[in-house]
A and B are shown apart, each in its own frame.
Chain A
Amino acid sequence: MLRLLATIRKEWQLLLRDKTGLILLFIMPVVLITVMALIQDAPFKDYQEVKFDILTVDNDHGRLGRYIREGLASGGQFNIIDSLEGRPVTEAQAKELVNTGKYKISIIIPGGATAAIVSNANRIVNDITKRMGMTVSLPVKQQNISPDVIIYFDPAAKKAFKGAIHQALDNFLTQVETDMLLDRIKMQLRSRDTTIAAANDTLPIRLQAVGLKEHATGSSKQLDVVSNSVQHNVPAWSIFAMFFIVIPIAGNMIREREDGSLLRMKLIPGSYLAILAGKMLFFVGICMLQFYLMMLVGIYILPLLDLPRLVMGHDQGATLLVAAGIGLAATAYGILIGTLFKTPNQALNFGAISIVILSAIGGIWIPLEIMPPVMQAVGHLSPLSWGLDAINDIYLRNGNISFVWKDVGRLVLTGLAMLAIAGRVEKRRMN
C-alpha cells in the first residue's frame, strides 16, 4: 500500500510541476468542448430551433396560398415573407434573392391553383353523385390544367433540408385538396336532403381518423432531452480529451526509461505491479477529474454562451462507472504506447494521430449512424465509440448500469489486454 500511495503522490508532484501537461489535460479540453459546441450548434439546430425566412409569392390569392402560408408559419420554423420594402415580392425577385443565397427558400403559388383544386374536387364529386343516381352537378373547368407550386432553393441547401420542405408542402397540398373534396361532398349532400343539412350543418366527416403523436421511449422519470450540440459535443470531446492522456503517460514512461528511474524502481524489492497500479490509479483519477470538469462546463458555462444546458441522465453511478472504464482504457493505451515506442517524439506523434483516427471512426466528430455501413462496422471497434455509446445510453436514453455494462466491460477488457501486451514487450526488452 505504501508503494501505491507513494507512486500516486509522486505522479501528483510531477503533474503539478508540469505546467504544459496541466494545460493539455485541463484547459485545452475546456476550450475544445466550448468551441466544438459553439460551432456545431447551428448544424444541430438545423431542423429544430433555427428559423428560416421563406419568400412567398402568392399569385393565387385563394385558399391554397392561405393554407400554405398559415401551415408553414404555424410550425414556428419559418418566417413567411411576402413583401419587401412594402411591395409584394415578385417571382423574378424571389428567384434572384434565393439564387444569391440571401434567402434559403422561395415558394411561388401559381395563379388559379385554388380554382384548379376546386374544379378537380367538383369533377370527382360529380362523378360520385352521377353514379349514385343524383342529378345535381357542380361547375368544372373544361380544360384539366394542374398548375405546379414552384420552389426555389438556395443552391447550397442540404439535400435533407430540401426533402423536409418538399414533404411539408406536399402535406399542405394534400390537406387542401382533401378539405376541398370534403366540402364539395357536404355541399352535394346538403342540396340532396335539406333535413340533414338543417340538423347537421357540419357533417362528421374526418379523414384523419388515426393521428400521429410522438411519445418518449423511457419507462419512468423520462427526460425531455434532445440530441443537441451540447449533448453530443460535451461527452464526445471529453472522451477524446481523456484519451489524450496517452501523451503525458507515454512521455512520462519513456522519460522514466531514459533517465533510469524505471530501472531503479525495478531494482527495488517488491512488486512492480504495485507501482504500476499506483500510476494507473492516478491517471484514471485524472481522467475522471477531466470528465467531470467537462460536464460542469456543459452544465454551468455553456448555457452562459447561449447554448443548451447539458443533461446528465438519472443514473450517476452508471456515469461514474463509464468514466472509470474510459479512464482505464485511455491510461492502459498510454502505458502501451509508452512501452512500445523508444522516443517521446515517436510516442507523441503516434499517440496523437491514433487518437484522432480512433475518434473519427468512433463517432466523436460525426455520428456513426450517418457513416457508410463499412465505416460503421469499423467504428464500433473503437474504444471511443464504446465510451460515447455508453454515455449516450445514460444521457439520452435514460439508461442505467444494465444499459452500459457491455461497453464498460469492453473498455476494461481492452485496457487489461493492452497492459498485458505492454508487460510482455517490457519483459522481452530486458532480455
Chain B
Amino acid sequence: MTSIAVKELCKTYRGAAAPTLKGLSFAFPEGKIVGLLGPNGAGKTTTISILCGLVSADKGDVTIHGLHQDAAHREAIKRIIGIVPQQIALYPQLTAVENLTYFGNLYGLKGPSLLSKIMHYLEVFGLEKSAHKEIHKYSGGMKRRANIIAAILHDPRLVILDEPTAGVDVQSRSMILQFLTEYNRQGASILYTSHLLEEAQSICEEVAIMDEGSLIVQGKPLELIAQLPQCRSLEDVFLHYTGHALRD
C-alpha cells in the first residue's frame, strides 16, 4: 500500500508571477523513511502544506494512506499524520509539559494517560529533567526534540518532518535520527525534508528530488548514485540534477 501518492499537482499562489508546483507526481510506499529533497524554492513546503490539507491545490490529486485529500477526508487525514514544522511551533512562555498537554488536549487526549505519554516521550528525548522548564529557556536542540514530541502524541501512522535537524548540535541530531529510525521500525511511515544530504542518504530508504515545482528523479539513494558514474554521494546526485546556480 502507498503511504503518499501525489499526481499532477499544480499550485500557483495568488499574485505570484510563476507557478510553485507544475504537475508534481510521486508516490512512496507505506512503512518507509523517505526524503523529499530540493533546493530553496523547489516547492517542498508547498507540497507538504497540500499533503496535510493546509493549502489547496489548483489541480491534481493527493492520496494519504488510501484517503483522498479532499474536504470529506481532511479530518481523517489529519488524524493519521503528524507534522513537525520547520519552526518551533510551541509556546515559548509555557513549559514543555504545558505545551504538550495543550496540544494533546487538542487531539482529544487527556488525563493521566496523556501525562504518562508526555513523560515517556520527554524521557525518550532526554528532556525529563527540563519537563517543567519554559521552552524559551531550552537550547536549540532541546526545542527541536520537544517540537517532534508535539507531533507524535496522537500516534500518527505518517510523520512529516520539515528539516527537523536544522541548526542542532551533533548529539541532538543523532538522537532525533535514532528516534525516527526506531519510530519507523514500529510501523510508521516517515517523510522527511532536509538540506543535509549526507543525513538523508544515511536515513532514507527512498528519496525524491524536486526542483522548480516538478519531480526530477526518484529512487533509492544508492541506486541513484550508481546510475551516475561521476557521483559518489547523494549530494553529487543532487547537484547533478539541480545544478550549481545559487537559489536565493
Contacts and interface: CB of A to CB of B under 8 A. Distances in A.
A and B held together in a complex:
yes
Contacts, number: 78
A342 B54 CA distance: 19
A261 B90 contact: yes
B78 A260 contact: no
A7 B102 CA distance: 7
A265 B76 CA distance: 15
A264 B108 contact: no
Interface string A254-298: 000011110111111110000100000000000000000000000
Interface stretch (A10-18, A159-167, A179-187): A10-18
Nearest to B106: A268
Interface stretch (B26-34, B92-100, B115-123, B227-235): B92-100
Contacts of B107: 268-269
B103 interface: yes
Interface in A1-29: 2-3, 5-7, 9-10, 13-14, 17-18
B55 A270 contact: no
Contacts of A259: 87-92
Contact of B108 (A2, A258, A260, A428): A2
Given A264-B85, A264-B89, 14 more contacts: A2-B105, A2-B110, A10-B91, A13-B98, A14-B93, A18-B93, A259-B90, A260-B87, A261-B90, A263-B85, A263-B87, A431-B14, A431-B55, A431-B56
Contacts of B91: 10, 14, 259, 261
B94 A17 contact: yes
B78 A269 contact: yes
Interface residues of A, number: 27
A264 B54 contact: no
A17 B56 contact: no
Contacts of A6: 101-102, 105-106
A92 interface: no
Contacts of A3: 105-106
B83 interface: yes
B13 interface: yes
5 contacts: A10-B98, A261-B89, A269-B79, A428-B14, A430-B55
A17 B134 CA distance: 10
Contact of B52 (A5, A9, A267): A267
A267 B83 contact: yes
B106 A265 contact: yes
B102 A260 contact: no
Contacts of B87: 258-260, 263
Nearest to A268: B106
A6 B94 CA distance: 13
Contacts of B134: 17
| Chain B interface, >50% SS class | loop
A75 B179 CA distance: 88
Contacts of A270: 75, 106, 108
Contacts of B54: 263, 266-267, 430
B100 to A, nearest CB: 11
B101 to A, nearest CB: 8
B94 A260 contact: no
A430 B13 CA distance: 9
Nearest to A9: B102
B191 interface: no
A260 B86 CA distance: 8
A269 B52 CA distance: 11
A301 B83 CA distance: 52
A266 to B, nearest CB: 6
B150 interface: yes
Nearest to A252: B91
B243 to A, nearest CB: 30
A3 B98 CA distance: 14
B14 A17 contact: no
Contacts of B89: 259-261, 263-264
A222 to B, nearest CB: 50
B113 to A, nearest CB: 13
Given A2-B108, A431-B13, A431-B56, A264 B92 contact: no
A268 B78 contact: yes
A344 to B, nearest CB: 14
Contacts of B76: 269
B6 to A, nearest CB: 18
Contact of B103 (A14, A17, A268): A268
B88 A260 contact: yes
A251 to B, nearest CB: 12
Contacts of A263: 54, 85, 87, 89
